[in-house]
Amino acid sequence: MSQVFRFGFIIFLSSLFLGGCASNQALQSGNASAQYSSPEFIPGNAKAEKLWQAFERYQGAPYQYGGTTAQGFDCSGFITTAYRESLGQTLPRTTSKMLSYGDVVHPGDVEPGDIVFFRIAGKDQHAGIYMGDNRFIHASTSSGVIMSNLNGYYWKDRFSGARRFD
Q: All domains of the chain, ordered by start, with CATH?
A: 2-164 (3.90.1720.10)
- How do residues 56-100 score in pLDDT, each as one tens digit? 999 999 999 999 999 999 999 999 999 999 999 999 999 999 999
What residues are labeled active site?
75, 126, 138
The predicted pLDDT at position 114 comes to 97
Report whether pLDDT(154) > 60: yes
Dihedral in degrees, nearest 10, Cα atoms 8, 11, 12, 13: 120
Contact partners, residue 75, CB within 8 Å, separation at least 6: 20, 21, 23, 95, 126, 127, 128, 138, 139
Q: What mean pLDDT comes out for the span 30-44? A: 43
Mean of all residue pLDDT scores within the chain = 81
The predicted pLDDT at position 43 comes to 58
**CB-based contact 139:61 (threshold 8 Å):** yes
Binned at pLDDT 50, 70 and 90, residue 42 comes out as low
Read off the pTM.
Answer: 0.77
